[in-house]
Copies of this chain bind each other. A is one copy, B any other.
């Protein structure tokens, strides 16, 4: 199931003998700098590996890759040992895959093709692709809906993992909400992200089932002021005022859980809230441009705040327009979501656009898969979302899926595993 040391340093391709004798070990197990000839043949950053091990999990403040596959899993075992074994196996496979190697042995390495491969193969020719894998633990892992302490973890449950309140506009569907575990796979190649989730599901066979999964494209998070801000499916730049990768102090204040806050196992971790936000794009598309801009509070073309000139101009909520009313209307989305109106609440947003076929009613099923990392949802997502109750944008969106997960700190090195501190 898991990788073994004889594979370390082999590229995905080498595992099936494509490279043949050249596929010898060129690194130590888990060294994410060692990847194969396919990876090294590509110069662009988008092909390279991102370090799996570290103080924090990768995939949180990592500049957002272009493609997403996010999956929530339910545990179908009741054994704590199974859970620990799963997290160990997943962590080992994650270290391999993020380094551009197969998830495990393929069964062909030693010439015996009788075993099912321990990697499914569809990423064999592909470079690491900037893959990050980020795990989270849902409230139901600690205490389920019937109040049962399933894995002896009830007393380790963080208070910050409190159930989200009902928000105006919620139309949540249980089958695409919640989950015991989640894994966020981000990469520059969708096949790499899909391959990773699929192999984790394969490794977890008999222990977990896929509760829901979501693909996404584009980047709605402006992780650096150097990057172009991507646009959401409403056609507006989304993420201009997001926390930025270079704002180290703000990230420390708003994203990472400090030592001594909540249970010890969460120090260096973060909380993620996911919301599947369906947009009624057909209605939006028939709304006049001026009205669209009033609702958002920014111009569509440049992304500048109303009353401003350039995208990154400060939001000036006191400025009056030509008619004397506020240039940025009182109900504009950017005003209601701004930390100056939400008791300073800030999050690191990392959402992706989605289009999932049609809805059976003649319309595309499109919108935003919102992802936000924060130090505590009770002072992050919750006050912001409550403040958006009067947002006119609500007429054009519907929250249909929701997730809340505690993301433990990073795995420090080979031999460690995701959430290890939870079981100590």
Contacts and interface: CB of A to CB of B under 8 A. Distances in A.
A394 B287 CA distance: 48
B356 A108 contact: no
Interface stretch (A13-21, A91-99, A247-255): A13-21
A113 B69 contact: no
Contact of A197 (B211, B282, B300, B364): B364
Contacts of A281: 120, 198
A364 B121 contact: no
A363 interface: yes
A353 interface: yes
A108 to B, nearest CB: 6
Contacts of A217: 190-191, 194
B17 A358 contact: no
A138 to B, nearest CB: 16
A358 B235 contact: no
A413 interface: no
Contact of A362 (B107, B113, B209, B218): B209
Given A108-B289, A125-B231, A358 B210 contact: yes
Interface string A180-214: 00000000001100100110011001000111111
Contact of A301 (B16, B116, B212): B16
A217 B67 CA distance: 11
A233 interface: yes
A123 B231 CA distance: 8
Contacts of A300: 16, 106, 108, 117, 121
Interface residues of A, number: 76
A108 B293 CA distance: 11
Contact of A285 (B202, B293, B361): B202
A71 B300 CA distance: 27
A208 to B, nearest CB: 8
A121 B356 contact: no
A114 interface: yes
Given A215-B357, A301-B18, A366 B290 contact: no
A340 interface: no
Given A211-B358, A300-B117, A366 B288 contact: no
Nearest to A311: B18
Interface string A339-355: 00000000000000101
A190 B69 CA distance: 14
A299 to B, nearest CB: 8
Nearest to A362: B209
A212 B124 contact: no
Given A122-B353, A302-B16, A358 B287 contact: no
A22 B34 CA distance: 46
A287 B302 CA distance: 53
A194 B120 contact: no
A415 interface: no
**Among A18, A236, A300, residue most surrounded by chain B Cβ atoms (within 10 Å):** A300
Contacts of A209: 361-363
A270 interface: no
Nearest to A355: B194
B175 A360 contact: yes
A358 B213 contact: yes
A212 B107 CA distance: 40
B191 A218 contact: yes
A140 interface: no
A228 interface: yes
A106 B122 CA distance: 42
Given A114-B288, A215-B357, 5 more contacts: A71-B358, A108-B289, A115-B288, A115-B289, A215-B215
